[in-house]
Amino acid sequence: APACVCDPGFSGPDCSQGGCPDNCNNRGRCVNGQCVCDSGFTGPSCSDKSCPGNCNNRGRCINGQCACNPGFAPPDCSKRACPDNCNNQGRCVNGKCVCDNGFTGADCSETGCPGNCNNRGRCVDGECVCNEGFGGPDCLEIICPNDCYDRGRCVNGQKEVSILAPWGHLPQTRWLDA
């Protein structure tokens, strides 16, 4: 029986139907001369891998993976990206790093200080340099000037000095303002 061998772009027993490019690469079906691609594929002949959410118009689809525009993160470019992915020392929340304990900075790359020095000092290379009158690893301790010259105890920031009475050995306790 005679059979038609259709020219490229046509199909059917009598070559009357529009064919699809590359027969949709067996990744879709041909409808009225156009490919309707299966899930995961795109393009005129279904030869390209598709990207999740079509990269939400915030990036380019390359081989099924989104190359996101600056400021947006894979896999589908729908979420705001954080600088340097917070250096794996924090979480990215709406484009801003929420740093883990011990780290600080816009990208969590700086070593933080305990309690951020409690606004009583400044953080230098992960250690608190406390303002005058404060001490300890987190600047929470109230300290006396010159540590009472080792002639008394510092209690709540005031010097406690034992004074011997000239007529004997009866210790008196006096509180002196710091």
Note whether residue 135 is domain-resident. Answer: no
Q: Is residue 73 part of a domain?
A: yes
In a domain, 133, yes or no: no
Residues 55, 40 within the same domain: no
Total domains, the chain: 3
**Structural domain contains residue 91:** no
Q: What is the pLDDT of residue 168?
A: 52
Q: Is residue 97, in this structure, part of any structural domain at all? A: no
Distances (CA, A) of 79 to 48, 59, 71, 95: 24, 12, 9, 8
The domain containing residue 41 runs over which residues? 10-47
Residues 43 and 57 in one domain: no
pLDDT of 152 reads 76
Q: What is the pTM of this model?
A: 0.46
Q: Positive or negative CA dihedral for 105, 107, 109, 111?
A: positive
Positions in the chain whose pLDDT score sits under 70: 9, 156-178
- Whether residues 15 and 31 fall in one domain: yes
